Amino acid sequence: MAGLVVLLLVVSLGALALAMRGGMELPRPRMRRTVRPPWVREAPVSRAEAERRSLALLRSVVNPDEWAMFTELGFMCVTGRRAGSGPGALPRYRYLVYPHLPLVALLPRSLAPVREYCVQFPERAGRPDLPTGDDVLAKWMTLRADEDRLLRYANISSPGCQIPLGQIDRDIDRLRRWERRRAAMPVLSRAG
């Protein structure tokens, strides 16, 4: 009986050695080919085309006044949705949304800068920055959808930490002039 066990062991080891050496092929499971959609095979677009597309997407999402503000001033002023304290309170902040820079929180009436909220939406494809429109749109959407969460997770600093106070003050003055000009325009001429 022991001889039979030894014989079976020797034959099994011999078959295993042949299989490992490649002399004998073991059946392989069939792999199913997955069919990928055509867009997966598209070549990446150039940086200039990515910028153009990102700005077209931003324009299609934000309202005409915000788009006009962005194209004329280079930033947007977005009113937050978090209410201040007390009945009939104004939103807690308005925000200057710059491309590739922190959000600047402003008091709603005086537009005095209060804080900088550093948020970054890194691109995973290896490029250092998202295209301009995508960066602004990501901040805009996050402020609209979940302002509290954005403020909870952002790095907070004093105004002037990353954006010089002089620039913030100049931009607030430009924003006030822009808002006065827009308010004086007839509603029909503002649409385009």
Two structure tokens written together for 182: 């827009």
pTM of the model: 0.71
Cα separation, 134 vs 120, in Å, equals 11
Is 95 strand, coil or helix? strand
Question: From first to last of its 192 residues, what are the pLDDT tens digits of the chain?
Answer: 666 666 666 666 666 666 666 655 556 667 777 777 776 777 778 889 999 999 999 999 999 999 999 999 999 999 988 776 666 677 889 999 999 999 999 999 899 999 999 987 666 655 567 899 999 999 999 999 999 888 888 999 999 899 999 999 999 999 999 999 998 887 665 555
**Domain ranges (residues) in the chain:** 47-190
Two structure tokens written together for 119: 């948020």
Give the C-alpha distances (Å, rounded to integers) separating 74 from 17, 37, 66, 69, 119. 71, 37, 11, 7, 18
